[in-house]
């Protein structure tokens, strides 16, 4: 940008004169040498000064590090849209799924062939889930065969990561050939795991973790009676007596595991449950007591599994091997004490790379691959067992984050942007400003102008801050008017802008609740990749932070992967990009976010669709769709009664309608009641177009989407796994 005059105005300034006591103005002063304003948004290796005509999707992929955190499931296609590769590296070129096309088909009105679902939206890809399971099992199978390990791998999925029915059922179905099982940590989780595993492989493990009462233990014993391969893992010493007593009363022989507190510690954020003072598990003294007590009651043969957990997001295979080696020593000692040990359960901890950095020093990255993880585990167990001449155990892991994170994408829309704009300063405004200043503030103003003439830009900023502070104090004392304070603000902002010290970051307002959909960001500072899902063939010209719909100051995102405090984004065209909308995606959020999200500000859960790869001309099919929580749904969660609330409002509408012409008043009351009824059924998030109440009042009622249609469709989909929506996905 060309250097411009900042503090003075030529129209009223006698050229060459400094400020005098009568507050006359100086001639224009050019800020020669001021750093030019630029829209460059990142540093090397991506040169974002490239003109839009020469910007390519590959540059966007590098800018957002998609090839780092997204491989092998996400890429940018030639249209500049995010493409999902549902089968990972085995995905053929024609099998890629254009995420923007999915969103448009799901959100388009029904009369245009869509589903009419409202955003925000979770898109699940069961094919990705299947590939993650296959990849994990393949990694362990390779490590076992290459190292001559004499047993097998048999994992379980901890349902706490995502308890959604379709997610759990998919894992049981896809993992059946691998004897893949489930892990439960509460009574409701145990019930759903029991139900799902009735359709799974009979050898699949059902691992029962967490604190237990008599009802939990009885339920786990019943699961064993139902021919489910159930293991009750002791987390506390007190649970042992309950297991012994209840198993005798029910005449069910249990399979028991113990969770060990290891000395090995994971020092990162996710390792707080590790070490001798961890929340769960038994120390060596308590483990010995368990073995002796079981021996005394003739049940030592029931002790068959050792479990431990170093912590989530284990950063390196060095730490992993250290912990597994320590646990393997305990396993071998239990064999020596006479326990019929069969399984070593290494717990969770298999991390994923949220930022693509492959760093071992970060809580959101890991420095290993699936293959390296499996190799480290198998090597550590084999080494200890061979030294002790102990038969190699079945290796079990409770990998949740690594299985489900990639298969789910949260899509939301930016509805507007805002940035502080410096108000225009007129000659009259400057004159009015100067006349109202105190003597000290006037001196700051003169010094500011003199520094500008000399090109001393650091000094300009010093006097700008000083002038602003003096004027704020004057305003608080009542000796400076609001118009003058506004003029001072405008002057100071203009100086900062001309010198190149202005904040270029814009706020993008997104149709989302961070507390509901990304609670780990707010709660523990977890970072997720956030990327526009389209327009990636265009050069992003802005930097922005994201502000959600909630009336909470924490409802914003101003930290992003790569240690960035803002995100490269595109300018909204009109109301949005292209067709008037600008879509962003949060990736790798398939674990924990849905389970942890609450109803802050009564924003409910997003709409959800399942999308499978299809060999048809459009490469995908929507196999299930569920609308997001309605206003009535979230009100019921907080024990309100929407039906009674509506009756109260309807009665008030009828009372208010009695004041005018009888017929018109009744019609107006009926229309208002209709709009209120629909408001209870609509999602709490923003809806484009005219407001529901306005349409209803003007048209004596209106027809929005019918939730019953979705419920019926969901029921049909649940009843037939292969049934798809009748429309053709484009």
Question: What pLDDT, on the 0 to 100 scale, is given for residue 48?
Answer: 58
- Count the Cβ atoms, other than its own, within 10 Å of residue 188: 11
Question: What pLDDT, on the 0 to 100 scale, is given for residue 690?
Answer: 46
Burial 393-402 (b: 16+ CB within 10 A, else e): bbbbbbbbbb
Question: What pLDDT, on the 0 to 100 scale, is given for residue 12?
Answer: 28
More confident of the two residues 341 and 444: 341
For the beta sheet containing 74-76, the strands, ordered from the edge strand earlier in sequence to the opposite edge, are 74-76, 82-84, 97-98
Least confident of 297-301, 316-320, 451-455, 658-662: 658-662
Residue 46 confidence (pLDDT) above 90: no
Question: What pLDDT, on the 0 to 100 scale, is given for residue 274?
Answer: 58
3-state SS assignment for residue 644:
helix
3-state SS assignment for residue 522:
helix
Residue 689 confidence (pLDDT) above 80: no
Percent of the chain with pLDDT over 70: 81
CA 452 to CA 367: how far, in whole Å?
Answer: 52
663 confidence band (pLDDT: 50, 70, 90): low
pLDDT digits (tens, 9 = 90+) for 20-36: 333 333 333 333 333 33
Burial 522-532 (b: 16+ CB within 10 A, else e): beeebbbbbbb
Residue 634 confidence (pLDDT) above 70: yes
pLDDT digits (tens, 9 = 90+) for 167-189: 999 999 999 999 999 999 999 99
pLDDT digits (tens, 9 = 90+) for 254-286: 999 999 999 887 666 555 565 566 667 899 999
What's the average model confidence in pLDDT over 526-544? Answer: 95
CA 208 to CA 218: how far, in whole Å?
Answer: 12
> Which residues are CB-contacts of 132 (< 8 A; sequence separation ≥ 6)?
402, 403, 404, 406, 407
Question: What pLDDT, on the 0 to 100 scale, is given for residue 485?
Answer: 84
441 confidence band (pLDDT: 50, 70, 90): confident
Q: Can you list the alpha helix ranges (DSSP code H) found in 598-641?
A: 631-637
Active site residues: 551
- Strand 394-396 relative to strand 408-418: parallel, antiparallel, unpaired? unpaired
pLDDT digits (tens, 9 = 90+) for 326-337: 999 999 999 999
More confident of the two residues 496 and 81: 81
Integer Rg of the chain from CA? 32
pTM: 0.81
527 confidence band (pLDDT: 50, 70, 90): very high
């Amino acid at each position: 940008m060309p250097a411009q005059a900042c503090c003075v105005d030529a129209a009223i300034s006698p050229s060459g004169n400094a400020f005098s006591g009568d507050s006359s103005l100086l001639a224009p002063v050019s800020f020669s040498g001021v750093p030019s304003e630029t829209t460059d948004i990142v540093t090397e290796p991506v040169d974002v000064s490239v003109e839009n005509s020469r910007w390519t999707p590959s540059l966007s992929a590098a800018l957002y590090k998609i090839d780092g955190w997204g491989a092998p499931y996400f890429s940018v296609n030639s249209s500049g849209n995010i493409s999902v590769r549902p089968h990972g590296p085995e995905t053929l070129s024609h099998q890629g799924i254009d995420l923007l096309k999915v969103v448009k088909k799901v959100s388009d009105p029904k009369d245009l062939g869509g589903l009419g679902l409202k955003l925000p939206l979770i898109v699940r890809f069961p094919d990705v889930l299947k590939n993650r399971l296959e990849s994990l099992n393949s990694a362990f199978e390779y490590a076992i065969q290459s190292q001559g390990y004499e047993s097998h791998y048999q994992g379980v999925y901890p349902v706490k990561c995502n308890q959604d029915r379709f997610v759990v059922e998919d894992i049981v179905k896809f993992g059946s050939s691998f004897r893949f099982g489930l892990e439960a940590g509460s009574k409701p989780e145990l019930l759903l795991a029991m139900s799902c595993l009735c359709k799974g492989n009979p050898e699949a493990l059902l691992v029962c973790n967490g604190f237990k009462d008599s009802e939990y233990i009885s339920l786990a014993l019943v699961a064993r009676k139902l021919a489910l391969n159930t293991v009750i893992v002791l987390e506390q010493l007190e649970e042992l007596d309950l297991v012994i007593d209840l198993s005798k009363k029910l005449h069910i022989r249990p399979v028991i595991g113990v969770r060990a507190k290891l000395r090995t510690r994971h020092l990162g954020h996710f390792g707080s449950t590790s070490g001798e003072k961890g929340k769960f598990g038994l120390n060596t003294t308590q483990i010995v007591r368990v073995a002796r007590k079981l021996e005394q009651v003739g049940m030592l043969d029931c002790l068959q599994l050792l479990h431990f957990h170093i912590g989530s997001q284990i950063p390196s295979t060095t730490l992993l091997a250290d912990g597994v080696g320590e646990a393997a020593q305990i396993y071998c000692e239990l064999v020596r004490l006479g326990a019929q040990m069969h399984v070593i359960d290494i717990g969770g901890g298999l991390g994923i790379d949220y930022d693509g950095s492959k760093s071992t020093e970060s809580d959101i990255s890991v420095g290993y691959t699936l293959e390296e993880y499996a190799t480290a585990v198998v090597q550590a167990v084999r080494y200890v067992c061979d030294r002790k001449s102990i038969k190699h155990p079945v290796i079990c892991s409770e990998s949740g984050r690594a299985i489900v994170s990639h298969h789910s994408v949260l899509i939301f829309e930016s509805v507007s942007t805002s940035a502080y704009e410096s108000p225009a300063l007129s000659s009259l405004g400057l004159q009015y400003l100067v006349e109202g200043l105190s003597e000290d503030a006037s001196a700051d103003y003169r010094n500011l102008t003199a520094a500008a003439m000399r090109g001393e830009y650091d000094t300009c900023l010093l006097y700008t801050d000083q002038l602003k502070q003096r004027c704020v104090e004057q305003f608080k004392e009542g000796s400076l008017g609001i118009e003058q304070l506004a003029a001072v603000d405008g002057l100071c902002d203009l100086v900062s802008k001309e010198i190149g010290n202005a904040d270029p970051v814009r706020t993008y307002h997104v149709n989302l609740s961070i507390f509901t959909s990304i609670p780990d960001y707010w709660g523990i500072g977890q970072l997720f990749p956030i990327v526009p899902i389209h327009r990636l063939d265009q050069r992003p010209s802005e930097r922005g932070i994201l502000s959600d719909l909630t009336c909470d100051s924490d409802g914003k995102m101003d930290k992003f992967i790569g240690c960035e405090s803002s995100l490269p984004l595109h300018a909204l065209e009109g109301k949005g990009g292209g067709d008037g909308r600008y879509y962003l995606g949060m990736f790798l959020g398939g674990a924990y976010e849905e389970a942890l999200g609450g109803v802050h500000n009564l924003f409910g859960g997003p709409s959800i669709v399942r999308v499978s790869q299809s060999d048809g001309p459009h490469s995908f099919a929507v196999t299930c769709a569920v609308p997001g929580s309605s206003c009535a749904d979230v009100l019921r969660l907080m024990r309100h009664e929407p039906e009674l609330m509506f009756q109260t409002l309807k009665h008030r509408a009828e009372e208010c309608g009695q004041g005018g012409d009888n017929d018109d008043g009744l019609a107006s009351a009926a229309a208002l009641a209709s709009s209120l009824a629909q408001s209870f059924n609509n999602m709490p998030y923003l809806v484009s177009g005219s407001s529901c109440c306005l349409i209803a009042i003007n048209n004596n009622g209106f027809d929005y989407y019918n939730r019953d249609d979705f419920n019926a469709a969901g029921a049909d989909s649940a009843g037939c796994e292969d049934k798809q929506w009748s429309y053709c996905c484009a």
